[in-house]
Amino acid sequence: MDPVQVFVLAVLQGLVEFLPISSSGHLILIPALLGWPDHGLGFGIAVHLGTLIAVIIYFRNDLVSLGRALFRPAHRDHKFAWSILIATVPLGLAGVLFGDYVASTLRSPAVIAAATAGFGVLLWLADRHGREHRDEHDLGWTRALLIGASQALALIPGTSRSGITMTMGLALGLSRAAAARFSFLLAVPAIAAAGSWQIVEFASAPMPVPWGSLAAAAMISGVTAFLVIAAFLRLIERMGMLVFAVYRILLAGVIAYVLL
């Protein structure tokens, strides 16, 4: 694997995994513009593993507290811990029921461009008109399930898992920081489940594995993702979502111009 391509794509994955700007849009556009080949399932697993490790390390104290709270009703995080698990269910069901259809039918530049722009507008509207008076502990299971249902839409390429969950969180009255934190914590079971499924597919198709390149990709994407999470949570209350919505619309235009 070309070292420059590994570095660029791993950094790109680390940047876009947690920002609400559509990873699918970037990962289809950049290789197309530069004429780079598909680096395969193994590379995808490596960079997703890196981002998973990043979010686990960043929220390690929260995750330990949530794990302890699961079966302790008196714990302040008990309801919050179950909210995350409940919010994960719709994505799992949607993946089982519609995953093959999405992979075979919806992975087109037209769909990615439309979803990138359309869900970008929804992100701005939710940010503009949301009440922003709740934190993630005030969600309740019904609202958590709604955010989980929105996460299932992320199967549509161009939607952005983090973008759609933040959009729903804002629409339900979460503050920007709370919507982001819930989205990032929700990423742990989502990425872990998707990665486990990819590993099963990867193991069933034996081929030479460039372990060095994959390890480097995982490390680069993980470090990048960790820095992105820290910076995003520190800045999001002041900067808002408009900049990401505008960026998504511009990105959709570039995708449409270059690939359609």
- Where along the chain do its domains lie? 3-259
Task: Write the pLDDT tens digit of every residue in 117-127.
Answer: 999 999 999 99
Helix H or strand E encompassing 80 = helix 78-101
Q: What predicted TM-score, i.e. pTM, was given to this entire model?
A: 0.92
Task: Write the pLDDT tens digit of every residue in 58-77.
Answer: 999 999 999 999 999 989 89
**For residue 127, how many C-alpha atoms fall within 13 Å in the half-sphere facing its CB?**
26
Is residue 137 within 8 Å of residue 174, measured between CB atoms? no
Question: How confident is the prediction for the chain on average, in pLDDT?
Answer: 91
At residue 42 the predicted structure's pLDDT band, cuts being 50, 70 and 90, is: confident
Q: 154: which 2 tokens?
A: 């992320």
The per-residue pLDDT for 203 is 65
At residue 103 the predicted structure's pLDDT band, cuts being 50, 70 and 90, is: confident
Percentage, residues of the chain above pLDDT 70: 96
SS (H, E, C) 54-69: HHHHHCHHHHHHHHHH
Is residue 115 within 8 Å of residue 157, measured between CB atoms? yes
Task: Write the pLDDT tens digit of every residue in 239-256.
Answer: 999 999 999 999 999 999
Q: How many residues does the chain have?
A: 260
